[in-house]
Amino acid sequence: MAAFYRFGRYTLICPLCHALDRERFLICALDRKLLRLPAGPLRILQIAPSEKGLSKRLSQAGNLIKGDIEPGRYGPDTVQVDLMNMNGISDLDIVVLCHVMEHVPDDRHAFRQIWSSLKPRGQVWIQVPLIYRQTLEAPPFMSRSERDERFGGSDHVRAYGPDIKERIEDVGFTVARIHSDRIPAADRERLGLLPDTLFIAERPE
């Protein structure tokens, strides 16, 4: 793991391809069939698409839409998508949210918006920093420095715990979890994987 370098407390970056550990974990889960893409072609929405290797992998499965509330941060092929108002976006097979929901003002409302944008049996792949035993919301008066210290980022509006599963289920999703410890220890060391959990939320038929 010495070849990888830290960015903040919760990220290890590859010095060669600059992929983040969360991206390496997700791709490894696909490679090992721990995570499976449904039969395609698929209509996939990737929010905050900084994970270029993952984008390439997803684009091979069908129509990949790269979106963000500030699309200019990611290049000309990214369109504006606001998770708080997804009117006009529909028939999605998969929505990919890698370290996105800790930035969203009202995550429950956003999950309801995503629900409405999915086809039946559509999925949401969710990764967030898991910091506490229970999710904590930042009060409006919390300073950026305190958010950085307590919530892992100066622009984070909450710090999640494992109870994010229940928050997602409250919308009506069924939720499964894939833990990084399902990957052999030697491979986790080689790939520079930190402890991580991927939440797979599915909209029932």
pLDDT, tens digit, for every residue of 129-157? 999 999 999 998 999 999 999 999 999 99
Cα separations in angstroms, 108 against 123, 125, 198, 201: 16, 16, 18, 13
pLDDT for residue 1 is more than 60:
no
The secondary structure of 110-131 as a DSSP string is HHHHHHHHEEEEEEEEEE--B-
Matching residue, tokens 């990919």: 96
pLDDT of residue 172: 97
For residue range 74-88, what is the model confidence (pLDDT) as tens digits? Answer: 999 999 999 999 999
For residue range 54-80, what is the model confidence (pLDDT) as tens digits? Answer: 999 999 999 999 999 999 999 999 999
Torsion angle in degrees (nearest 10) through CA of 44, 45, 47, 52? 40
pTM: 0.94
The token duo for 167 is 């928050």
Find, among 84, 99, 81, 70, the residue nearest to 44 by Cα.
Answer: 81
Q: CB under 8 Å to 184, separation ≥6 — which residues? A: none
pLDDT of residue 6: 79
Distance CA 43, CA 69 (A): 19
Strand bridging mode 62-68 / 136-137:
unpaired
Distance CA 156, CA 170 (A): 22
pLDDT of residue 56: 94
pLDDT for residue 177 is more than 80:
yes
